[in-house]
């Protein structure tokens, strides 16, 4: 998608590699790394490439984690909290509406806070959890990036697809350069796939090259 | 002497455990109505490689690190270690 829609110079990095080279943006994609053994994302955090990812993040450069990528970033301590099993115990595959809750990040520099976009979710462990103090800090510091909302833009119980705390769908770290979200923006960047709502995640960061 | 360890990883009390709730419901439906506050955890067992020459105390310290760094997610899980020769 990055090469087709954004004409980006993108390459795949195998998890055993020890460097991300001169990459500007590092993306941890969705999937089922290590078969979700032990806990989703738990084993991937020890892959050799994660040291390079951590270094990239520590330099303030952008890191994006989508779905399993978000789970890995939380397990690796690059984002606070954890993703646990969907409350209803079912895998959810659905289109959702998300509200952008912050524009304070290189990922959203050109986006409009409060925008509501549509994207698909496909996950069994998308239920965001953090202890009370951490949650208070994330909310207070404006680190919530996306919330699940209803058509009117309200974060209601009905709009919550998996029991996630405060309808949280995605967060940024305190440095605002690491973004993790459960929905799949990369599957919503071309009208032929049903929605271009995912572009909100990429437009700012890809345009600022 | 081969040391054997059992690690019990359980969901913290303040974290919702939907699996436990579902199992409790199913137990009640099957007539086992005495089951209450069902929680599902994990048990991991392993041997301590005797060629590493670790004492029981050293093995306990290693296991504590294994649990806190990897086997348990400290945000949502507690752990308990049992070691025997």
Q: Which residue of B7, B40, B76 is the best one to mutate when testing the A interface, meaning the one whose CB has the most A CBs within 10 A?
A: B76
Using DSSP's 3-state secondary structure scheme, residue A149 falls into: strand
Task: Calculate mean pLDDT across residues B56-80.
Answer: 96
The encoded tokens of residue A123 equal 């996950």
Domains in chain B, please, with CATH?
A: 3-84 (3.30.1280.10)
The single-letter DSSP state of residue A164 is -
Q: With contacts defined as CB-CB under 8 Å, which chain B residues touch A38?
A: 70-71
Using CA atoms, how far apart are residues B21 and A162, in angstroms rounded to an integer?
Answer: 15
Using DSSP's 3-state secondary structure scheme, residue B76 falls into: coil
Q: Say if the Cβ atoms of B73 and A42 lie within 8 Å.
A: yes
Residue with tokens 């990812």: A53
Q: Say if the Cβ atoms of A89 and B18 lie within 8 Å.
A: yes
Confidence of residue A189 (pLDDT cuts 50, 70, 90): very high
How far is B57 from chain A, CA to nearest CA, in Å? 26
Contact yes or no for A149/A110 (Cβ under 8 A): no
DSSP-assigned beta bridge partners for residue A66: A181
Provide the greatest CA pair distance for chain B. 51
Note the Cα A199 to chain centre separation in Å. 13
Q: Say if the Cβ atoms of B18 and A88 lie within 8 Å.
A: yes
The encoded tokens of residue A122 equal 């496909």
Query: Which of A146, B71, A134 is CA-nearest to residue A155?
Result: A146
Domains in chain A, please, with CATH?
A: 20-207 (3.40.50.880)
**pTM listed for this prediction:** 0.92
Q: With contacts defined as CB-CB under 8 Å, which chain B residues touch A129?
A: 15, 75-76
Is the confidence at residue A209, as pLDDT, over 80? Answer: no
Residue of B nearest to A44 (CA): B70
* Strand pairing class (A63-66; A26-28): parallel
The percentage of residues in chain B with a pLDDT greater than 70, rounded to a whole number, is 100
DSSP-assigned beta bridge partners for residue A122: A93
**Separation in Å, CA B37 to CA B13, B16, B17, B21:** 10, 11, 10, 8
The encoded tokens of residue B59 equal 């093995």
Query: Which of B37, B11, B15 is CA-nearest to residue B24?
Result: B37
Using CA atoms, how far apart are residues A33 and A69, in angstroms rounded to an integer?
Answer: 9
Beta strands in B1-85 (DSSP E): 3-11, 42-48, 77-84
Task: Calculate mean pLDDT across residues A41-56.
Answer: 94
Write out pLDDT tens, residues A147-168: 999 999 999 999 999 999 999 9
Identity of the residue in A42, A82, A85 whose CB atom sits nearest the CB atom of B18: A85
Higher pLDDT, A4 or A51: A51
CA angle A84, A61, A51 (to 5 degrees): 60
The single-letter DSSP state of residue A60 is T
Q: Is A13 left (phi over 0), alpha (psi -120 to 50) or beta?
A: beta
Query: Which of A91, A159, A108, A171 is CA-nearest to residue A135?
Result: A171
Using CA atoms, how far apart are residues A149 and A1, in angstroms rounded to an integer?
Answer: 26
Higher pLDDT, B1 or A171: A171
Write out pLDDT tens, residues B3-44: 999 999 999 988 989 889 999 999 999 999 999 999 999 999
Residue of B nearest to A131 (CA): B75
Is the confidence at residue B85, as pLDDT, over 90? Answer: no
Identify residues of A whose CB sits under 8 angstroms from chain B CBs: 38-39, 42, 46, 75, 81-82, 84-89, 129-131, 163
As a 3-state breakdown, chain B gives helix, strand, coil percent values, each rounded to 5, of 35, 30, 35
Q: Say if the Cβ atoms of B70 and A42 lie within 8 Å.
A: yes
Beta strands in B16-72 (DSSP E): 42-48
Using CA atoms, how far apart are residues A71 and A87, in angstroms rounded to an integer?
Answer: 16
Write out pLDDT tens, residues A20-30: 999 999 999 99
């Amino acid at each position: 998608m990055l090469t087709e829609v954004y004409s980006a110079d993108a390459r795949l990095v195998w998890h055993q590699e020890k460097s991300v080279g001169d990459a500007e943006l590092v993306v941890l994609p969705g999937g089922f790394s290590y078969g979700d053994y032990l806990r989703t994302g738990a084993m991937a955090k020890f892959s050799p490439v994660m040291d390079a990812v951590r270094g990239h993040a520590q330099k303030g450069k952008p890191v994006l984690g989508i779905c399993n990528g978000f789970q890995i970033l939380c397990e690796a301590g690059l984002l606070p909290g954890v993703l646990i099993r969907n409350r209803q115990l079912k895998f959810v595959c659905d289109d959702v509406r998300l509200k952008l809750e912050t524009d304070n990040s290189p990922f959203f520099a050109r986006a409009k806070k409060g925008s509501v976009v549509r994207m698909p979710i496909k996950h069994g462990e998308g239920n965001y959890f953090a202890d009370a103090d951490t949650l208070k800090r994330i909310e207070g510091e404006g680190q919530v990036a996306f919330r699940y909302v209803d058509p009117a833009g309200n974060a209601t119980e009905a709009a919550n697809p998996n029991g996630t705390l405060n309808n949280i769908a995605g967060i940024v770290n305190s440095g605002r350069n690491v973004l993790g979200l459960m929905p799949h923006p990369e599957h919503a960047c071309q009208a032929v796939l049903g929605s271009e709502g995912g572009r909100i995640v990429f437009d700012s960061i890809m345009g600022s090259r | 002497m081969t040391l054997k360890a059992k690690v019990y990883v359980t969901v913290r009390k303040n974290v919702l455990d939907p699996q436990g709730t579902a199992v409790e419901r199913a137990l009640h439906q099957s007539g086992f109505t005495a089951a209450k506050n069902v929680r599902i955890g994990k048990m991991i067992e392993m041997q301590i490689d005797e060629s590493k020459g670790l004492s029981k105390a050293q093995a306990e310290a290693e296991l504590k690190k294994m649990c806190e760094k990897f086997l348990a997610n400290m945000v949502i899980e507690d752990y308990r270690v049992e070691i025997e020769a």
